[in-house]
Amino acid sequence: MKFSEDFVFGGATAAYQCEGSTRDCGKGKVAWDDFLEKEGRFSGDPASDFYHQYPVDLKLCHDFGIKGIRISIAWSRLFPEGTGRVNQEGVDFYHRVFQECHRQGVEPFVTLHHFDTPDVLHKAGDFLNRDIINHFVDYAKFCFQEYQDEVQYWFTFNEVWPIAVNQYIVGSFPPAIRYDIEKAVYSMHHMMVAHAKAVNAYKEAGYQGKIGVIHSLEYKYPYHNNDADRLAAKNEDILANQFVLDATFLGEYAKETLETIQRLVAINHGQFECSQEDITVMKKAAFNNDYLGINYYQSHFIQAYDGENDIFHNGTGDKGTSRFRLKGVGERMFKEGIERTDWDWLIYPEGLYDMVMRIQNQYPNYKTLYITENGMGYKDEFVNGEIDDTPRIDYIRKHLSWILKAIQNGVNVKGYFVWSLMDVFSWSNGYNKRYGLFYVDYQTQKRYPKKSAYWFQKVSEFKELDKIEY
């Protein structure tokens, strides 16, 4: 079986992870600037210097058959304080980028928020503060109007759950709060309301493009075949997956979802309520979404857990060090026989198939899916000008095979974006964890195609897997 001729093979990036120039050219601060400086381990500047190197990267897309690119707009590059004053230099930069995309025959898929709330708004509470909802919508409306002739594919948010869990439960994102499920849930809810308002505004304005949201979805399996582990898996699934999927496709929270969320929040000494006004807005957007973007890297096996919160984030690639035990929810386990990366991410491509089939069955109004991120972090070795990343090819190929199976079973998947196009800055790993099809020498900013880039080029050209060797 082959992919359809209109199936998009693309590469993904994000503004803060690739642009550099974090405090140049009129850009306002984001919380990451001070957070990383205080940690003293990594800097988001110059990253991959996409701010200056974008013509090189887009030419590589053209030369290697990469037909789509995920780009995020840095909110604070347009609005340095999040609202009010516009930085024209930033506005013009994205015009140049989008125009170059079209010159190179690469379709831009543009995300409005990719982990980088302007610092002024972040300090005011980020998405715990409902005021930010309307600020985000104003920013979105500006972008829709400004770039309407250059951008036909929009996403509001990238990874609602990872933002919330890393800000308020794991504590690896600023403001580095740990074990506060109530804050995580309210943050997710407010992002979904902001998403809904932006989608509705886009449709009401009559723009000809399409719009949706991106969720990071990790299938949750019971570790043992017993009732306790099945409940634990259900707990984490509802918290991480079903809560945002309900908000996206139902526009409200199903009875099971709401009861579970309220129970989990209560166990952790909080409460959650949402207004009818929010539900009305989300229900309208549920019919206006044109697609869902899915970022998928791994799945989890969950067992029952009765203890206190205990989480350790493996940000160094020291295999076997990660722990995730969430009070009232469950404990993530390594499943025997399932390979994992040095960062303890399980390599389980079947989980992607199970997730997209679940969406088709549970939310039949989904319309279209794009796999907007999938890829393998790897300690690439640069040897004699070449990078042999065969394990990355194997990883991508297996996931594409399961996508083909899902398509064969009726799921409408229309594109696949490798994370990442080129090597980029990683939020908690800096520069030692590489994902790119193109190797970046961070000293010279020169790009080198990896073995995976040549393989992916053939997949994009021939739209099949079986006959392409590596």
User: Is 159 known to be catalytic?
Assistant: yes
Residue with tokens 């715990």: 128
- The angle, 0 to 180 degrees and rounded to 10, between the axes of the packed helices 451-462 and 390-408 is 20
Parallel, antiparallel, or unpaired: how do β-strands 330-333 and 323-326 relate?
A: antiparallel
Tokens for 60?
A: 């590589």
Alpha-carbon gap, residue 6 to 463, rounded angstroms: 10
Burial 417-445 (b: 16+ CB within 10 A, else e): bbbbbbbbbbbbbbeebbbbbbbbeeeeb
The DSSP-derived string for 29-73 is PBHHHHHHHHH-S---SSTT-HHHHHHHHHHHHHHTT--EEEEE-
Residue 153 sits at φ, ψ, to 5 deg, of -130, 115
Alpha-carbon gap, residue 193 to 188, rounded angstroms: 9
SS3 state of residue 153 = strand
Alpha-carbon gap, residue 121 to 98, rounded angstroms: 27
For residue 127, give the DSSP letter. Answer: G
Catalytic residue among 159, 218, 236, 331: 159
Q: Please tell me the chain's helix, strand, coil percentages from 3-state DSSP, rounded to the nearest 5.
A: 40, 20, 40
Catalytic residue among 19, 218, 331, 373: 373
Query: Any idea what the Cα angle at residue 153 is, between residues 151 and 155, rounded to 5°?
Result: 115
Within the chain, what is the greatest distance between any pair of CA atoms? Answer: 62
Amino acid in position 33: D
Alpha-carbon gap, residue 137 to 244, rounded angstroms: 19
User: Is 39 known to be catalytic?
Assistant: no
The catalytic residues are 159, 373
